[in-house]
A = this chain, B = another copy of it.
Amino acid sequence: MLDQARALDASDPLAEYRDRFDLPDGVIYLDGNSLGALPKATTERLQQVMREEWGTDLIRSWNSADWIHLPQRVGGKIAPLIGAQPHEVIVADSVSVNLFKLISAALKMQSGRRVILSEPGNFPTDLYMIQGLEGQGLATQRLAERNAIVEALDGDVALLLLTHVHYKSGAIFDMAALTKAAHDVGALVLWDLSHTGGALPVDLNGCDADFAVGCGYKYLNGGPGAPAYAFVAERHHDAIDQPLSGWMGHAAPFEFSDDYSPAPGVDRLLCGTAPILSVSALEVGVDLIAEIGVHRLWAKSRALSEFFLECLAEAGVDLPLVSPEEPMKRGSQLSFRHEEAYALCQALIARGIIGDFRAPDILRLGFAPAYLRFEDMARTAEELADILAKSAWDTPEFKHRAAVT
């Protein structure tokens, strides 16, 4: 399969972009869905932000480097990747904090309704933020299995909150159909695009979505813990009322008024001062992904994962696939079940192949197409086959769990 892989790499129109990332030698990185790789331009840009903007221009950079509009600027660049208008997206805080803002806003808009509907096994923080509002006495969580969500929608549901691409399985929800089903009962919809943005195209406005949030540190390559983004459809801009009403979301923050008055549009989602170094790093990642183009990225990611499955079959590996078999129905990842998935993941890492483990029994391999090669697929399949054939994962060393798994 290695020859075939090399031929595919030779004709890959995205092959040139691998060199735009700073990747360690001897590593096959299949965890870009957890932490995207470092764009080479990021280190240069951050040097500039530190030395010129912070060090030299100091406080003046709020105007001269336009730090004050950095959240809007980067949000506007993310917008076309997710089917939004530039003024509908802003960079702020974390996914969790943005979920809290938008769930709260939805509850305010839906007076008389307090149910937030989601699925069990959604990414935990999505559920935890609903539970935070439950603890405040303002919301009621309702969970329905993914094939029973439409039936669980009724006139009590204020908001349907779903993650578009499931973090564990990679399964994609039908955004258009579910948004319509929610709207049919008067519910709003909030999409978590953490495993979508930068990996596959999505059309928020085409689907008539109300709200969305997404992560900056996965397929957008914004760096560890990069700030997140939030989307509010233009039609809701005047209705948004959210409780994290910090001074940066004020209509006139530098008037230092005692009374909060929200800024227009998505600006009112801002709360405190944005972490400029981290948002600047995110901008570089977003620029690079936008340059490559999200349609081309998704096409390559499907080709990579399909080729990987062929390589596995060729090598006689038959791990149960948890992800959908149909490539159009999954995100940029493949997840496999193995009862010792943690140890299996560690055994791969020891051979320079970095995937990740998701409790309790999932080996998750992400195919960030901006910097992966078909050759990486062939080699990974080969090593995985060898590890399984020899039960090389079955050692105390590989079973010992670190703080972060």
Contacts and interface: CB of A to CB of B under 8 A. Distances in A.
Interface of A: 22-24, 27, 29, 31, 34-35, 37-38, 42-43, 46-47, 50-51, 53-63, 67-69, 93-97, 100, 104, 108, 120-125, 127-129, 131-133, 135-136, 138, 143, 168, 217, 223-228, 241-248, 250, 253-260, 271-279, 281, 349, 354, 356, 358-359, 402-405
21 contacts: A27-B58, A29-B58, A35-B54, A35-B58, A38-B51, A46-B50, A50-B223, A62-B404, A93-B93, A97-B97, A97-B246, A97-B271, A108-B135, A123-B247, A132-B244, A133-B243, A223-B276, A225-B273, A275-B275, A275-B278, A276-B278
A272 B135 contact: no
A274 B227 CA distance: 9
A361 to B, nearest CB: 12
Interface SS of chain A? mixed
A339 B339 CA distance: 73
A256 to B, nearest CB: 5
B31 A132 contact: no
Nearest to A126: B247
Contacts of A256: 123-124, 168, 358-359
B67 A272 contact: no
Contacts of A47: 43, 47
A50 to B, nearest CB: 5
Contact of A273 (B94, B138, B246): B94
* Closest CB pairs A-B (n = 8): A94-B272, A96-B246, A224-B276, A275-B278, A132-B243, A96-B272, A62-B404, A38-B55
Contacts of A34: 59
Given A95-B272, A125-B246, A132-B260, A405 B281 contact: no
B244 A96 contact: yes
B257 A124 contact: yes
A141 to B, nearest CB: 9
